[in-house]
Amino acid sequence: MKLARRTPARRRSPRRRTLAGLTALFLATGGLLGTAGPATGETSVPSPVVDSPNGRGNVVLNLFQWTWDAVADECTSTIGPAGFGHVQVSPPQEHIRGTEWWTSYQPVSYRIESKLGTRAEFQHMVDTCADAGVGIVVDAVINHTTGANVGSGTGVAGSPYGLDHFPGLYGAADFNDCRTNISDYRDRYQVQNCRLLSLQDLRTGSEHVRDTLAAYFDDLLGMGVSGFRIDASKHMPAADLEAIKARLSDPDVFWVHEVIGAAGEPIQPSEYLGSGDSHEFDYARELRDRFDGSIKDLRTIGDGKLPSGSAGVFVDNHDTERNGETMNYRWGAKYTLANTFMLSWPYGSPTVYSGYEWDDKDAGPPGATSTTVPAADCSAGWTCTQRWTEIVGMVGFHNAVEGTPVTSWWDDGAHHIAYGRGDVGYVTINNAGSAVTRTYQTSLPAGTYCDVVASTDCSQTYDVSAAGTFTATVPSYGALALLPGEPADPTDPTDPEEPVEPGDDVTTVYYSTDAGWDAHKIHYRVGTGAWTEVPGVDMDAACTGWVARQVDLGGASDLTAAFNDGAGTWDSNGGQDYALSGPHVAVAAGAVVPGNPCADSGSGDVQGGTSVAVEATTAWGQDVYLVGSIPALGSWAPSGGILLSAETYPVWRASLELPAGTSFSYKYVKIDGAGGVVWESGDDRRATVGDDGTLTLDDSWR
């Protein structure tokens, strides 16, 4: 089944995408480069405005209960660059009022007006995500309307409703005759004609109901939606769904059915393959069971399930994370490992789930009211799985190895597995409580390979010998995933992601955030050399009110620069570029001032919103530094990190000020008097400064 992006007529051109098909990622030996390729001769290559070094593939990101504006922003900043193919969004139709998440699943009308946004905001999201190379999959609720137990009321957009009464839409004849709740899931009639949890069950065999639902689908298709998840498909006869789909303006549009199959029940997912793919719930259940015990038999996870080309697979979704049927974010490292496996194993089309933290299973998103939901905040209760280093890396891995066979399977008979994907990639997963060091046999050609689980910038590499072997230590409950590539050249000004070691030939440029831009770019050239590509490279949060970028001068004495927001707004500076020089230089309101405006945020004595404590024993002469991915933490350069105080040894401490909402990766290092550096082991740590500007890091050396 093809998942094709549909676009409004006013857009430049249609962009089509297959979900289960191949999107090739070609790898250059000089680096990890992604170029999308067609799966077949009839499938065109997307041409998004936002580039992705991870290529383009069929991975779906399920952004549960995200507002349309927040999805649009995330498509540009994260989802598109990460190489996701599509985003599944929550139901967009008008629904009942209430703070609970499930209110979105009780339709009042098919107006595209919900607590997640307006019709105009939905259209903006579809267009913005298309520009980022990302299609929209809508969660479509067509089995039922509101709960009979709710009675009458007014929807979030003002439409009235009642029992058997939806003015201008449905009347009593449009609902099935059974008016009781389902009590026996072994009875096909009950499951497909009676009420699911009191929800008024639509008569999907009716011509009027079928025409009404088809019009809803066509409205969304006209807005450029790429496909649909069909909620509660199990509760509608498969023939009814086929008849509804046949009425659509595009009867070949992608559908994936929610059919929760269970042993002993008469209704199974395979019945619904005539109108689309189906989610394979047994896959997620098996992941839960394996990662809760032995993972050695994961190689047979596709056996006895739906055909791979028709199966939608996932680690969890909004229902199963709450009912215990699958893993969820609370499983911690094992949850990450399960996603790593799913994105690296050739069965089904994968969906990565991203929701929010909860204690009450009915609770809506943080800050939800009866008619609105605030924008997702990754520092305040939203899981934001799509931003995790491991997930971003594994989406790229999935895109790179698509279509390659499994090779060189190995397991230890219990908790440690390893396997290759053709001659392109290799994965090893350790589901045990202790690290493992061993030599792995692969089918990879000799060369240098990036561990895309450890970082997104190829800062962790492994050398594979001519015999196809490499030796590595895999952390407890950790993984490695290798793709061809080498670390970026830190002296190349067109490659902005590799940190530069501070020195005489480095200028750190600081730029004021007073303009209130959502992002900051520096477009520059060193000396008389070439300019970076427009709009330039990212500037990262440095301290409150400032962003920064380190630039290697490569022997030159200065650089020329211009600044912009990455979306077409530039600091014109009266029509002049900025001339910058020196080890530190700050730009604000058209003025260039030598020095570091964040200097007061860099020592262990600073009083600020971020408190750091790490328990670490050291040898005589060693100090402990906090080093990370942002300039305020040295951009991964140990000598540019934050020196911690040993006053409460063996706990080393510091405090510093970082802008609210700043997300970063970090580690601790030990540096001796001779400049020797020892990095702690394990994956990069992650943290996000709260909206109030506070953050507490309380760690132990690894």
Same structural domain for residues 513 and 621?
A: no
Residue 438 in any domain: the answer is yes
Q: 691: exposed, middle or buried (C-beta count within 10 Å: 0-12, 13-18, 19+)?
A: exposed
Domain count, the chain: 4
Mean of the per-residue pLDDT values of the chain: 86
Q: What is the mean pLDDT of residues 644-657?
A: 87
Q: How far apart are CA 174 and CA 623, in angstroms?
A: 74
Same structural domain for residues 665 and 536?
A: no
pLDDT category at 223 given cuts 50, 70, 90 is very high
Q: Specify the residue for token string 């070439």.
A: 530
Range of the domain at 244: 60-401
Q: What is the pLDDT of residue 45?
A: 30
pLDDT category at 393 given cuts 50, 70, 90 is very high
Task: Assess whether the previous peptide bond of 499 is cis (omega < 30° from 0).
Answer: no
Residues designated catalytic: 231, 258
Closest residue by Cα to residue 338 from 394, 376, 271: 394
Beta strands in 475-544 (DSSP E): 478-484, 506-512, 521-526, 537-538, 540-543
Q: What is the mean pLDDT of residues 103-121?
A: 98
Same structural domain for residues 155 and 284?
A: yes
Same structural domain for residues 261 and 119?
A: yes
Residue 641 identity (one-letter amino acid): G
Q: How far apart are CA 170 and CA 148, in angstroms?
A: 14
Q: How far apart are CA 200 and CA 144, in angstroms?
A: 5
Q: What is the rounded end-to-end Cα distance, in angstroms, of the chain?
A: 47
Q: What is the pLDDT of residue 505?
A: 67
Does the pLDDT value for residue 661 go beyond 70? yes
H helix and E strand count, the chain: 10, 38
CA angle 301, 314, 92 (to 5 degrees): 155
Same structural domain for residues 214 and 302?
A: yes
Does the pLDDT value for residue 25 go beyond 70? no
Q: What is the DSSP string of 641-672?
A: SEEPEEEETTEEEEEE---TT-EEEEEEEEE-
Residue 554 in any domain: the answer is yes
> What sign for the dihedral angle of Cα 293, 298, 303, 306?
positive
pLDDT category at 14 given cuts 50, 70, 90 is very low
Distance of CA 655 to the CA centre of its chain: 31
Q: What radius of gyration, in Å, describes the C-alpha atoms of the chain? A: 27
Closest residue by Cα to residue 48 from 73, 2, 85, 22: 85
**Which domain CATH number covers 299?**
3.20.20.80
Span 52-67, pLDDT tens digits: 778 888 999 999 999 9
Q: Which of 596, 619, 653 is the last residue of a domain?
A: 596
Q: What is the mean pLDDT of residues 31-47?
A: 27
Q: Where do the H-state alpha helices sit in 292-373? A: 320-323, 333-344
Q: What is the pLDDT of residue 608?
A: 43
Same structural domain for residues 335 and 410?
A: no
Same structural domain for residues 210 and 147?
A: yes
Global confidence as pTM = 0.69
Q: What is the pLDDT of residue 493?
A: 37
User: Is 230 within 8 Å of 274 (Cβ atoms)?
Assistant: no
Q: What is the mean pLDDT of residues 218-229?
A: 97
**Which domain CATH number covers 538?**
2.60.40.10
Same structural domain for residues 388 and 272?
A: yes
Q: What is the pLDDT of residue 1?
A: 57
Q: What is the DSSP string of 190-215?
A: HHHHSBBTTEEEB-TTSHHHHHHHHH
Residue 22 in any domain: the answer is no
| Poorest-pLDDT segment among 322-331, 416-425, 540-549, 596-605 | 596-605
Same structural domain for residues 513 and 581?
A: yes
Token duo for residue 599: 């200097």
Residue 272 in any domain: the answer is yes
Residue 228 in any domain: the answer is yes
Same structural domain for residues 300 and 246?
A: yes
Q: How far apart are CA 130 and CA 226, in angstroms?
A: 10
Beta-bridge partners for 586: 510, 593
Residue 324 in any domain: the answer is yes
Give kind and range of the element (H or E) at residue 63: strand 60-63
**Which domain CATH number covers 411?**
2.60.40.1180
Residue 646 in any domain: the answer is yes
Same structural domain for residues 112 and 224?
A: yes
Q: How far apart are CA 386 and CA 677, in angstroms?
A: 32
Residue 184's SS3 state is coil
Q: How far apart are CA 479 and CA 251, in angstroms?
A: 42
Residue 52 in any domain: the answer is no
Q: How far apart are CA 668 and CA 43, in angstroms?
A: 47
Same structural domain for residues 475 and 458?
A: yes
Pairing of strands 537-538, 478-484: unpaired
User: Is 422 within 8 Å of 404 (Cβ atoms)?
Assistant: yes
Q: What is the mean pLDDT of residues 613-625?
A: 86
